[in-house]
Amino acid sequence: MNTIDAGMHKSRTASSPHPVLRIDGVPLEQWIKGVKDVAGDDMTDYLVPAQGWLIDETDYENAWHLLGPQSEGIATVVPVLVCPDDMDMSCTVVVVEQTVNAEVVAWERFGQAVDVRHGIVTSVKWITPHQKAVFPLSSFRAAAAEMKRLTDEVWT
């Protein structure tokens, strides 16, 4: 089982520390690997969290809502990283397929949004080979709550 928490971190493209989720102590944009740019170079360490960085209010609220564990047995496609230049869903968007059961949240696989309509990811190119992470449900909820608190109260 993996660990998840939230904390402040200065991403490669950010000018100051901002809230991030960390998997096994590693900031998400560094933990995820395999999202390629047009030249085939890995670009995940240039991305920032969707939760907190999206400038469209509806997209912002949706990103937080989707991160929250949904009903048991349902897979949800959650935007987790975006391009810091545009801060919207029109540029690079990394998503995770998130499932929930009574005790754990599983990030089944990661991918790059291929088509986004009105802030909703409608198709995904899944990364292969894919990474997977599994977290205790209580730890996941605590990390998401801390990420939201840091975003609302600490990050300016």
pLDDT in tens, 22-46: 999 999 998 987 665 555 666 777 8
Q: What percent of the chain has pLDDT over 70?
A: 94
Give the predicted TM-score (pTM) of the model: 0.92
- Span 53-97, pLDDT tens digits: 999 999 999 999 999 988 898 999 999 999 888 888 988 899 999
Identity at 50, one-letter amino acid code:
A
Biggest alpha carbon distance in the chain?
42
Range of the domain at 27: 4-154
**pLDDT attached to residue 120:** 86
CA 96 → CA 3, 6, 155, distances in Å? 16, 17, 24
* Residue found by looking up tokens 């397929």 in the block: 97
Rounded to an integer, the average pLDDT of 108-131 is: 89
Split into its structural domains, the chain has a count of: 1
